[in-house]
């Protein structure tokens, strides 16, 4: 079946002004689908709007404002059914947990966890009513591993993965599929958009300080992931009748997550007898 013979699907993509989000929007449009894309800067998508006309709708959205999220989702649903939701928007606060302000922690969790939860919930009933849909959660290898300086980021991504695992089991009977995507280091501009805490002397020379120096010296061009290739793979899963629950993308993701899961499994197995020891004695 050619692209023109396939049914036109409607995507809803957050964080579409650049990086992976923009590549996903572009890929969907070039394959004949419609997209509602959200961004903090609409002008970043002007070229795609000019090229694809009314198949692209762009909404300005600040994900730290739940009322704005609800309004944009409502407008999108009034325009017609949505087949594929991609919660892509994100950023990372870098620094020791002790150095982070309450506002930094709150904003990080609102963007990485609360907004995707609210958006996912808003689309579940319409997807059930229409007989199915796809929800794609852009997590990270940081949803399975943890490094110093990223505690708030990991809290958001690990939380998103737990939420998505649970929801995926809740809606499977309705042909609503939830896929968690775990990219590794990808050239999306993410590295240059890191937000750093104010550094304190206590953490300057320990693991936090060393990680901070490493991140400050690492540019996007040093990252191995190609966002266009990631977008093509993710798009491909939306054509599969039974898409994967998790999608690790990048050899760095595979290696890091494999090592972390191996360590956790070894630690769990070593505690088998201790785990059994807390049961009531017959």
157 tagged catalytic: yes
Name the nearest CA neighbour of 161 among 39, 248, 62: 248
Can you spell out the DSSP letters for 3-36? GGGSPP-EEEESS-SSHHHHHHHHHHHHTT-EEE
Indicate which residue of 139, 140, 151, 164 is catalytic. 139
What's 61's DSSP letter?
-
Indicate which residue of 151, 157, 164, 203 is catalytic. 157
CA distance 249 to 46: 29
CA distance 229 to 174: 30
6 tagged catalytic: no
Let me know: does 123 contact 82? Beta carbons within 8 Å.
yes
139 tagged catalytic: yes
Let me know: does 224 contact 250? Beta carbons within 8 Å.
yes
**Active site (catalytic) residues:** 139, 153, 157
């Amino acid at each position: 079946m050619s692209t023109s013979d396939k049914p036109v699907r409607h995507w809803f993509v957050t964080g579409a002004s650049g990086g992976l989000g923009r590549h996903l929007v572009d890929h969907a449009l070039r394959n004949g689908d419609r997209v509602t894309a959200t961004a903090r800067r609409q002008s970043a998508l002007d070229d795609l709007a000019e090229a694809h006309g009314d198949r692209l709708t762009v909404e300005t959205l600040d994900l730290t404002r739940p009322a704005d999220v609800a309004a944009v989702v409502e407008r999108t649903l009034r325009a017609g059914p949505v087949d594929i939701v991609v919660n892509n928007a994100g950023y990372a606060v870098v620094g020791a947990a002790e150095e982070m302000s309450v506002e930094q922690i709150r904003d990080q969790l609102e963007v990485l966890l609360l907004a995707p939860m609210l958006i996912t919930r808003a689309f579940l009933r319409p997807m059930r009513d229409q007989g199915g849909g796809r929800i794609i959660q852009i997590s990270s290898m940081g949803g399975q591993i943890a490094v110093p300086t990223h505690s708030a980021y990991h809290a958001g991504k690990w939380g998103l993965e737990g939420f998505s695992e649970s929801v995926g089991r809740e809606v499977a009977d309705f042909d609503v599929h939830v896929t968690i995507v775990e990219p590794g280091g990808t050239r999306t501009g993410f590295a240059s958009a890191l937000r750093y805490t104010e550094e304190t002397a206590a953490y300057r020379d320990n693991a936090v300080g060393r990680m901070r120096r490493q991140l400050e010296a690492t540019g996007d061009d040093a990252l191995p992931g190609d966002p266009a290739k990631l977008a093509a793979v993710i798009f491909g899963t939306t054509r599969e009748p039974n898409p994967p629950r998790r999608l690790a993308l990048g050899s760095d993701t595979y290696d890091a997550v494999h090592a972390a899961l191996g360590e956790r499994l070894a630690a769990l197995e070593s505690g088998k007898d201790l785990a059994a020891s807390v049961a009531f004695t017959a």
